[in-house]
Amino acid sequence: MITYVPYQDIDKAKYDHCIRHARASRIYAFSWYLDCVADRWDVLMEGDYDTVMPLPRKTKYGITYVYTPPWVQQLGLFSLHKTNEKTQYEFLKRISKKFVWIDYHLNSSHVSASGSVSIKKNYLLSLEGGIEKIQDNYNKNRKRISKREFDNLDLDKNGDIEVFIENYKNQEKTYAISEDAIDRLKCLYLKGMKQVHVWNVFHEKEFLAGLVWLQDAQRITYLAPLADERAKQLHVPTYLINELIRDFQGQQMMLDFEGSMVAGVENFYQSFGARAESYYYFKKRFLHHV
């Protein structure tokens, strides 16, 4: 039986236990993360938090709707057990009956893309091998760039979030983002000190580029890269990704690039040997049902 649990009634300890041990665990789904990125979120639950689906929601013009918050790529169904298409359908049917407006991203464990669900692409790179083995799968151009010396760069791996954000705002034409989303990024950094990391890159004490990345038990997530045209010409994004790989090489983890449907960005991720993984976008408008 599927139960709707409003935010104030959620047992966060049981809920987080399910997220932590779910086959498709994602850092975005933990309660501390959702508390930062969403004003309100409820849960669909089966059993005693054996299977859960977090539902960030808002109300506008009297309409309550489900949405995917900033800094979140995938939510959907999380379970301590293997789920089938029927279970996934029943959860989607339940939220479709309750809400008339839905913009929601489902994680890669969902097995079909039928009805109101369309496919999106993510890119993942296994970190199990050593750096040399991983770089063997780079394309020719990425190998060439990775062999360069970057001695003129100063990388602060305990970066100041305020420095990152100040420069992020200065790049607003490239990184169109609201003040609200910026505040939510700050919240993530403050609440997830051991899981949310800031790297800032300087050249002769001048800020050049930066990266906010996430760490959980399974993935390193490339959350918020920042690089202007000068930084790109100096191949700083490649330098930062290689540093991440060096730090986590040989571990049973994935580097999650968070995907892109933009050809140039896709090509960049693929140049590191990253493989595509499908996740899904569930969209509903008013009278349309699953």
C-alpha distance from residue 159 to each of 53, 141, 155, 162, 201 (Å): 34, 29, 9, 9, 9
Can you tell me the mean pLDDT for 266-275? 95
For tokens 């913009």, the residue is 103
Looking at the structure, do residues 260 and 184 belong to the same domain, yes or no?
Answer: yes
DSSP reduced 3-state for 240: helix
Count of other CB atoms within 10 angstroms of residue 286: 8
Closest CA to 28 of 63, 65, 56, 62: 56
Least confident of 22-31, 106-115, 155-164, 246-255: 106-115
Residue at a domain's end among 112, 141, 170:
112
The model's pLDDT over 233-258, given as tens digits with 9 standing for 90+, comes to: 999 999 999 999 999 999 999 999 99
Within a domain: residue 178? Answer: yes
Within a domain: residue 48? Answer: yes
Within a domain: residue 273? Answer: yes
Report the alpha-carbon distance of residue 235 to residue 120 in Å, rounded: 27
Give the pLDDT band of residue 68 (cuts 50, 70, 90). very high
Report the alpha-carbon distance of residue 203 to residue 185 in Å, rounded: 25
The model's pLDDT over 116-162, given as tens digits with 9 standing for 90+, comes to: 788 899 999 999 989 999 999 999 999 999 998 898 899 999 999 99
Q: Is the whole-model pTM more than 0.95?
A: no
The domain in which residue 272 lies consists of 123-278
CATH number of the domain to which 92 belongs: 3.40.630.30
Report the alpha-carbon distance of residue 212 to residue 160 in Å, rounded: 11
What's the structural domain count of the chain? 2
Looking at the structure, do residues 148 and 271 belong to the same domain, yes or no?
Answer: yes
